[in-house]
């Protein structure tokens, strides 16, 4: 069997909630349906083995559970399990979607929760709004509506401004009426962040501490991200660190905090001064600390660490031939002056871009991590270009 | 000659044994006559520490002051299901410290029985334990003031006790070890001279008899809820009593078709009854997992399901009849049961201890048994960039005989590379998600190296379980950096010293 024929074994979730995708998840095709039971066994055993390995047991157990649920669906005539499809947020036990009609708040809660967990945000928001019309006095339903909108924020679903504003207003009322409701504060801060109202989030900080005695981690991360987008950026980084310190074993918190720190680091790109070098390094070191121990996050931070380490190194950009000639001519008196003029920092070379007759920029731009770090960063020399300039044809950089 | 005893440090029960120069092995009982010491520690309100049977009894009255199943957390921060640290009166107790209390108690029994202070021990661990868990076990011995002469795999110990090594015939054996808290399946090759080599191991650190007890307990709680509308978990005394009875019912079901026990909840009596059929359907998922583990291990060993000559059942929970049927179905062989399921592992450890002591009677069988060959239970590798992705490149694969060593060539990934980050991983998977990082080190090249410049990475894993990884410049041979990992544990040196001093002052009866 070729390598690609066994790739399906390592796929963690089916692509969609259909029988065809469930079969594909077990390698049918390329295998025929008569081999389905064997393939299910092979996949289940592989992930079972991973679930007892030295690392990644949690993920492996989750996938093993998905395999079991899909085995029931395909071989025992069960219904397609919920929350197992790629991109879905929950993947626990198979759960039937509650009926679309609701006659009690409990039913409404169950329905909206199920819809958001399946990624059906439009229906979730509409259903929650219907609930809001039915029970306008209920705080629980008000939170539910704001929660449905906040859950959709940051996903591919486009939340309308009208929904966003309505949800903000609703959660503001809830936080006034129920100041100890943790979900309401998270919802409000998330919605304000989605609307770009960062200054208002910062005003929330003191209020949350006053009402709750501290800031819960999910809200702390929302505030940290908001701070990054204000002049009070370093306090945002402090908050990201605090979030990690609250539970250093939580890979999710480490990922979110590291991403916040990288967003801060990108604010200093492109580096155009020695001061920027220091700040960039500081932000990257926070990202590295947050990512520590989580391999998948460390990989994301690594290019930034490499650039932080090297950006301030010097590179000779003058002419070697001229240097030797003039040095001998001036009995080496001119050499230190020439070096001071011709030695440039790596960040300077990248910032100045390609210069006619000089190849140092091209040598640096061939280093993939430098391009990765500067992806999406605007340089003067990059204007109107889609990609970084290639080295001139026929030139050997070595 | 200072004595060495063998200790089976189990998840639910522990046993100490000693073998004399002539090969006669005895299980050492405590002063109260009990040969098996429950791995339970109870901390009383006056600061006293009780280990064993009495701790189990006290745990019924004050369950929050008692620790059990802590072996499952060896090498980790916590052994509790909720991930929290076990704390009594403000002091956090790590699994290593709790295990050291059990070891200290067993060593005290042995010292008083043999009339000399026991300072050296052989301790058994599940074959599937990785490096951090083995190191944590060594540390537990160290805290108890004991020199751990050797860490021995439980299936190997069981095979030694069973005399598998003395039959003079070559065979391949599957050892099925289902204990109170861990499950191990091992395929071993027995040479005609008795030499034993582990070919493949598989297992589950979180599966054992205690899980079956928990499922029976859950059924009890459901029935109580249905009948009396009462929550069993809210009545701590009733809960602990029910937990003990769940274990008794499980044991009964190994020999009977139906078992029952009286329970008391909210002052009302309730007779709980369970049939073997219902019990087996209750644990169907675990049976499926065990089946998968056995098949995976046989696949790793090569030779398929038909290549097994014998099946040896070890561990208290292997008495559950469905497992012997399962093994017979898979291998076609009638499983044989270890002579004494609860004591044979300690006996095997004691026999090896006598061998290591070096004073065996040349006429005895001890002199004839070869030392078992240790193999790496998991692969060891380093993180490398392959294409766009960081991956784990295995240098010493699982199953390699220890001492083992290996070498690979890697290359610099950027132009003018100045530094090299070395990361040591445990696991045979390529995907870093499924391995465990054991250590890291950062080194500098003497001068910048161009892209694709060769780097030589060598790794060694010695009999003392020390892992050493070194990186050299592939062209000049210059040393770049290294990782030395010897018994890394989560406890700091000062914490270890503190724990050791504390235990010195403890006096067990």
- Residues of B within 8 A of A310 (CB-CB) are 416, 418
Radius of gyration of chain A from its Cα atoms, rounded to whole angstroms: 28
Which residue blocks in A153-273 are alpha helix, DSSP H?
161-177, 182-194, 198-212, 217-228, 233-246, 251-266
Whether B433 and A363 lie within 8 Å, measured CB to CB: no
Per-residue pLDDT reduced to its tens digit, B84-100: 788 888 888 889 999 99
Whether B427 and A53 lie within 8 Å, measured CB to CB: yes
Half-sphere exposure in the Cβ direction for A194 (13 Å, CA): 25
Q: Does B381 touch chain A (CB under 8 A)?
A: no
Q: Nearest by CB to A59, from B418, B433, B437: name it.
A: B433
Active-site residue, B71 included: yes
- Residues of B within 8 A of A44 (CB-CB) are 292
Per-residue pLDDT reduced to its tens digit, B40-67: 999 988 888 999 988 888 877 777 889 9
The catalytically annotated residue of B3, B71, B250, B347 is B71
- Residues of B within 8 A of A285 (CB-CB) are none
The nearest alpha carbon in chain A to B133 belongs to A54
Lowest mean pLDDT among A28-37, A313-322, B117-126, B392-401: A313-322
User: Looking at residue A3, what is its pLDDT?
Assistant: 40
Closest CA of chain B from A339, distance in Å: 19
Q: What is the dihedral of CA A238, A240, A243, A245, to 10 degrees?
A: -60
Active-site residue, B470 included: no
Q: Which of A10, A55, A57, A365 to mutate to test the interface with B (most CBs of B within 10 A)?
A: A55
Lowest mean pLDDT among A96-110, B298-312, B432-446, B466-480: A96-110
- Residues of A within 8 A of B450 (CB-CB) are 398
CA distance A110 to A132: 15
Inter-residue long-range contacts of B87-91, CB under 8 Å, 24+ positions, other chains counted: B88/B43, B88/B64, B89/B43, B89/B45, B89/B47
Name the DSSP class of B431: B
Whether A52 and B292 lie within 8 Å, measured CB to CB: no
Please check whether residue B14 is in contact with residue B102, taking contact to mean a CB–CB distance below 8 angstroms: yes
Q: Nearest by CB to A56, from B416, B433, B450: name it.
A: B433
- Residues of B within 8 A of A52 (CB-CB) are 128, 202-205, 293
Whether B414 and A295 lie within 8 Å, measured CB to CB: no
Taking the CA atoms of A68, A73, A75 and A78 in sequence, report the sign of the dihedral they define.
positive
Whether B429 and A55 lie within 8 Å, measured CB to CB: yes
User: Looking at residue A89, what is its pLDDT?
Assistant: 42
> Tokens 């379980």 correspond to what residue?
B465
Whether A48 and B292 lie within 8 Å, measured CB to CB: yes
Q: At what angle do helices A295-310 and A274-291 cross, to 10 degrees?
A: 160
CA distance A114 to A127: 11
Q: What is the mean pLDDT of residues B331-337?
A: 90
Better pLDDT: A101 or B481: B481
Residue B271, exposed/middle/buried by CB under 10 A (0-12, 13-18, 19+)?
Answer: exposed
Per-residue pLDDT reduced to its tens digit, B169-190: 788 999 999 988 889 899 988 8
The nearest alpha carbon in chain A to B390 belongs to A299
User: Looking at residue A30, what is its pLDDT?
Assistant: 82
Q: Which of B82, B389, B414 to mutate to test the interface with A (most CBs of A within 10 A)?
A: B414
Render A107-158 in DSSP notation, one character per residue.
HHHHHHHHHHHTT-HHHHHHHHHHHHHH-TT-HHHHHHHHHHHHHHTTSSS-
What average pLDDT does the structure give for chain B?
A: 86
The pairing of beta strand B37-38 with beta strand B25-27: unpaired
pLDDT in tens, chain A (398 residues): 334 477 889 888 888 778 888 888 998 888 887 888 889 988 998 898 888 888 888 888 889 989 988 888 888 776 777 777 765 543 333 334 444 567 788 888 888 887 777 667 788 888 888 888 888 888 888 888 988 888 887 666 677 888 888 889 988 888 888 888 888 898 898 888 888 887 788 888 888 888 888 888 888 998 898 888 888 899 999 999 999 998 888 888 888 899 999 999 999 999 999 899 999 999 999 999 999 888 777 888 888 999 999 998 888 776 666 667 777 777 677 667 766 666 788 998 888 888 776 777 888 877 888 888 887 788 888 765 656 777 665 555 44
Q: How many A-B residue pairs are in contact by the CB < 8 A criterion? A: 79
Please check whether residue A174 is in contact with residue A142, taking contact to mean a CB–CB distance below 8 angstroms: yes
Render A37-104 in DSSP notation, one character per residue.
HHHHHHHHHHHHHHHTSSS-HHHHHHHHHHHHHHHHHHHS--PPPTT-STT-S---S--PPPPS--SS
Name the DSSP class of B372: P
CA distance A206 to A211: 9
Residue A5, exposed/middle/buried by CB under 10 A (0-12, 13-18, 19+)?
Answer: exposed
Which residue blocks in B302-399 are alpha helix, DSSP H?
321-331, 344-357
The catalytically annotated residue of B97, B177, B213, B344 is B177
Whether A52 and B429 lie within 8 Å, measured CB to CB: no
CA distance B477 to B479: 6
User: Looking at residue B396, what is its pLDDT?
Assistant: 94
User: Looking at residue B220, what is its pLDDT?
Assistant: 92
Q: At what angle do helices A233-246 and A217-228 cross, to 10 degrees?
A: 160
Burial B388-424 (b: 16+ CB within 10 A, else e): eebbbebbbebbbebebebeeebebbbbbbbbbbbbb
- Residues of A within 8 A of B293 (CB-CB) are 48-49, 52
Q: Does B183 touch chain A (CB under 8 A)?
A: no
Active-site residue, B251 included: no
User: Looking at residue B31, what is its pLDDT?
Assistant: 81
Q: Nearest by CB to A55, from B203, B296, B434: name it.
A: B434
Please check whether residue B407 is in contact with residue A33, taking contact to mean a CB–CB distance below 8 angstroms: no
Phi and psi at residue B328, to the nearest 5°: -65, -40
Whether A299 and B390 lie within 8 Å, measured CB to CB: yes
User: Looking at residue A96, what is its pLDDT?
Assistant: 41
User: Looking at residue B240, what is its pLDDT?
Assistant: 79
Tokens of B235: 């009545």
User: Looking at residue A92, what is its pLDDT?
Assistant: 35
Closest CA of chain B from A256, distance in Å: 18
Q: Nearest by CB to A60, from B296, B434, B436: name it.
A: B434
The catalytically annotated residue of B3, B96, B131, B154 is B154
Distances (CA, A) of B7 to B49, B103, B120, B168, B489: 21, 8, 10, 27, 21
Per-residue pLDDT band at B407 (split at 50, 70, 90): very high
Tokens of A274: 């020695």
Render A252-321 in DSSP notation, one character per residue.
HHHHHHHHHHHHHHHTTPSP-SHHHHHHHHHHHHHHHHHHTT-HHHHHHHHHHHHHHHHTT-EEE-S-HH
Whether A295 and B296 lie within 8 Å, measured CB to CB: no
- Residues of A within 8 A of B285 (CB-CB) are 68
The nearest alpha carbon in chain B to A41 belongs to B292
ipTM score assigned to the predicted complex: 0.79
Tokens of B379: 């692969």
Active-site residue, B344 included: no
Please check whether residue B238 is in contact with residue B263, taking contact to mean a CB–CB distance below 8 angstroms: yes
Per-residue pLDDT band at B509 (split at 50, 70, 90): low
Q: Does B436 touch chain A (CB under 8 A)?
A: yes
> Tokens 């009849």 correspond to what residue?
B321
Lowest mean pLDDT among A136-140, A142-146, B142-146, B373-377: B373-377
CA distance B144 to B139: 8
Closest CA of chain B from A115, distance in Å: 29
Give the helix/strand (H/E) hosting B480. Answer: strand B479-486
User: Looking at residue B482, what is its pLDDT?
Assistant: 81
Closest CA of chain B from A364, distance in Å: 8
> Tokens 């199953």 correspond to what residue?
B399
Q: Does B426 touch chain A (CB under 8 A)?
A: yes
Q: What is the dihedral of CA A27, A31, A37, A38, to 10 degrees?
A: -90
Whether A293 and B437 lie within 8 Å, measured CB to CB: yes
Closest CA of chain A from B263, distance in Å: 31
The catalytically annotated residue of B3, B8, B247, B343 is B8
Distances (CA, A) of A115 to A98, A99, A133, A165, A323: 9, 11, 19, 21, 71
User: Looking at residue A163, what is its pLDDT?
Assistant: 85
Q: Nearest by CB to B427, from A10, A45, A54: name it.
A: A54
User: Looking at residue A396, what is its pLDDT?
Assistant: 54
CA distance B191 to B166: 10
Closest C-alpha to B160, from B344, B376, B362: B344
Inter-residue long-range contacts of B264-271, CB under 8 Å, 24+ positions, other chains counted: B264/B238, B265/B224, B265/B228, B265/B230, B265/B232, B265/B235, B265/B238, B266/B228, B266/B230, B266/B235, B266/B238, B268/B228, B270/B223, B270/B224, B270/B227, B270/B228
Q: Which of A6, A52, A54, A254 to mutate to test the interface with B (most CBs of B within 10 A)?
A: A54
- Residues of A within 8 A of B436 (CB-CB) are 54-55
């Amino acid at each position: 069997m070729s390598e690609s024929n066994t790739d399906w074994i390592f796929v963690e979730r089916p692509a969609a909630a259909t029988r065809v995708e469930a079969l594909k998840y077990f390698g049918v095709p390329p295998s025929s349906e008569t081999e389905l039971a064997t393939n299910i066994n092979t996949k289940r055993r592989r992930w079972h083995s991973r679930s007892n390995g030295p690392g990644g047991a949690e993920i492996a157990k989750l996938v093993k559970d998905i395999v079991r649920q899909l085995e029931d669906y395909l071989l025992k005539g069960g219904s397609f399990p919920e929350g197992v499809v790629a991109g879905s947020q929950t993947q626990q036990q198979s759960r039937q979607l509650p009926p679309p009609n609701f006659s009690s708040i409990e039913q409404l809660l169950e329905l909206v929760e199920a819809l958001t967990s399946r990624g059906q945000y439009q229906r979730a928001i509409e259903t929650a709004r219907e609930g809001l019309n039915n029970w306008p006095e209920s705080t629980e339903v008000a939170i539910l509506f704001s929660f449905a909108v906040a859950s959709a924020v940051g996903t591919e679903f486009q939340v309308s401004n009208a929904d966003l504003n309505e949800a903000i207003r609703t959660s503001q009322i809830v936080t006034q009426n129920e100041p100890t409701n943790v979900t309401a504060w998270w919802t409000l801060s998330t919605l304000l962040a989605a609307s770009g109202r960062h200054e208002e989030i910062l005003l929330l900080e003191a209020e949350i501490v006053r009402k709750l005695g501290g800031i819960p981690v999910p809200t702390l991360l929302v505030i940290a991200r908001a701070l990054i987008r204000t002049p009070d950026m370093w306090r945002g980084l402090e908050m990201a660190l605090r979030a990690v310190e609250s539970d250093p074993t939580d890979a999710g918190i480490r990922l979110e905090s590291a991403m916040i720190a990288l967003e801060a680091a990108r604010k200093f790109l492109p580096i155009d001064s020695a001061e920027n070098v220091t700040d960039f390094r500081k932000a990257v070191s926070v990202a590295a600390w947050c990512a520590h121990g989580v391999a998948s996050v460390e990989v994301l931070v690594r290019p930034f660490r490499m650039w932080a380490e090297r950006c301030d190194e010097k590179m000779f950009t003058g002419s070697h031939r001229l240097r030797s000639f003039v040095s001998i001519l001036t009995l080496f008196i001119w050499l230190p002056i020439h070096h001071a003029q011709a030695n440039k920092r790596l960040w300077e070379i990248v910032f100045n871009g390609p210069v006619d007759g000089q190849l140092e920029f091209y040598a640096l731009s061939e280093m993939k991590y430098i391009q990765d770090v500067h992806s999406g960063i605007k340089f003067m020399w990059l204007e109107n270009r889609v990609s970084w300039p290639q080295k001139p044809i026929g030139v050997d950089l070595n | 000659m200072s004595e060495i005893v063998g200790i089976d440090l189990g998840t639910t029960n522990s046993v100490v044994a000693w073998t004399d120069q002539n090969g006669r092995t005895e299980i050492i009982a405590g002063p109260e006559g009990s040969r098996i010491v429950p791995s339970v520690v109870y901390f009383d309100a006056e600061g006293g520490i009780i280990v064993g049977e009495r701790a189990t009894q006290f745990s019924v009255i004050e369950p929050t002051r008692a620790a059990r199943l802590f072996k499952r957390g060896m090498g980790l921060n916590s052994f509790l299901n909720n991930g929290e640290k076990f704390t009594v009166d403000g002091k956090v107790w790590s699994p290593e410290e709790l295990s050291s209390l059990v070891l200290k108690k067993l060593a005290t029994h042995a010292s008083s029985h043999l009339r000399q202070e026991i300072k050296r021990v052989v301790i058994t661990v599940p074959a599937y334990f990785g490096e951090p868990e083995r190191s944590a076990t060594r540390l537990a011995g160290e805290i108890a003031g004991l020199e751990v002469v050797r860490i021995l795999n439980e299936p190997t110990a069981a095979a030694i006790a069973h005399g598998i090594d003395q039959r003079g015939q070559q065979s391949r054996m599957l050892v099925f070890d289902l204990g109170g808290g861990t499950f191990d399946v091992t395929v071993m090759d027995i040479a005609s001279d008795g030499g034993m080599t582990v070919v493949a191991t598989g297992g589950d650190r979180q599966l054992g008899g205690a899980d079956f007890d928990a499922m029976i307990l859950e059924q009890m709680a459901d029935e109580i809820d249905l009948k009396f509308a009462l929550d069993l978990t809210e009545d701590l005394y009733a809960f602990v009593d029910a937990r003990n009875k769940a274990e008794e019912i499980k044991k009964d079901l190994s020999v009977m078709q139906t078992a029952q026990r009286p329970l008391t909840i909210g002052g009302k009596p309730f007779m709980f009854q369970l049939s073997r059929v219902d019990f087996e359907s209750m644990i169907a998922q675990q049976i499926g997992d065990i089946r998968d583990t056995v098949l995976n291990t046989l696949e790793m060993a090569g030779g398929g399901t038909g290549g097994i000559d014998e099946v040896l059942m070890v561990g208290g929970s292997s008495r559950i009849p469905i497992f012997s049927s399962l093994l017979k179905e898979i291998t076609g062989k009638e499983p044989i049961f270890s002579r004494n399921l609860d004591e044979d592992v300690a006996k095997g450890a004691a026999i090896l201890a006598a061998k290591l002591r070096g004073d065996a009677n040349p006429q005895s069988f001890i002199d004839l048994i070869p030392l078992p060959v240790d193999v790496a239970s998991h692969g060891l590798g380093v993180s490398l960039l392959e294409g766009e992705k960081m991956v784990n490149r295995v240098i010493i694969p699982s199953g390699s005989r220890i001492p083992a060593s290996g070498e690979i060539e890697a290359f610099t990934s950027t132009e003018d590379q100045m530094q090299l980050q070395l990361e040591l991983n445990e696991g045979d998977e390529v995907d870093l998600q499924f391995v465990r990082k054991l250590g890291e080190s950062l080194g500098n090249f003497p001068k910048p190296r161009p892209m694709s410049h060769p780097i030589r990475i060598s790794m060694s894993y010695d009999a003392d379980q020390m892992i050493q990884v070194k990186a050299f410049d592939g062209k000049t041979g210059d040393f770049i950096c290294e990782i030395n990992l010897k018994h890394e544990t989560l406890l700091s040196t000062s914490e270890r010293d503190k724990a050791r001093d504390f235990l010195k002052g403890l006096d067990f009866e």
